[in-house]
Amino acid sequence: FMSVSFLEEYSYLMLIYGGLFGVLYALRIFLLRNLDICLEVKSIEGNIKIDTTTKHVDEDFSITLPLAYAKARFDLPFSGFRVEADIATVSYSGNSFTDTKAAVVYETAIGLGAIAGYRNETLKLDDIDNNDVDIVISGMFAGMFYHF
């Protein structure tokens, strides 16, 4: 009888541990699948043209930036829809670059999908190649993709 009681208690504990393990495993899959944190490198090349009555500037610039990157994604179960947002940024000695994006994505079971959202890029360069740059590019975007 003691062994039966022990087995029942052991089975009950295994059910609790199994359930807890299942919840922790589900959380681990959710977090690892839907959260990215990394470093990236972005190369920016451009040309600055300023024509006024008192000043004329026509110069090229080039800069390579290491960026901290984070992306979060929330999948809406059984629908093919997801919501995602990401940011890549760096700031150093008065210079900064930030690229943010928020989007709604739909993807079919065969990998064909569409994305629509809002993106904002800001670039501020202080005395790079004797140029100061303060640029903001923002707006809505949409696109299609095939994920294989």
Q: Do the Cβ atoms of 120 and 136 come closer than 8 Å? A: yes
Q: Which residue's structure tokens are 């300023």? A: 50
DSSP classification of residue 12: H
Name residue 32's amino acid. Answer: L
* pLDDT tens track, the chain, 148 positions: 333 333 333 333 334 444 444 555 555 555 445 778 888 888 878 787 777 788 787 878 787 878 898 888 888 878 889 999 999 999 888 888 899 999 999 999 899 999 999 999 998 878 766 777 788 999 999 999 998 8
pTM of the shown model: 0.65
Residue 76 main-chain phi, psi, to 5 deg: -85, 115
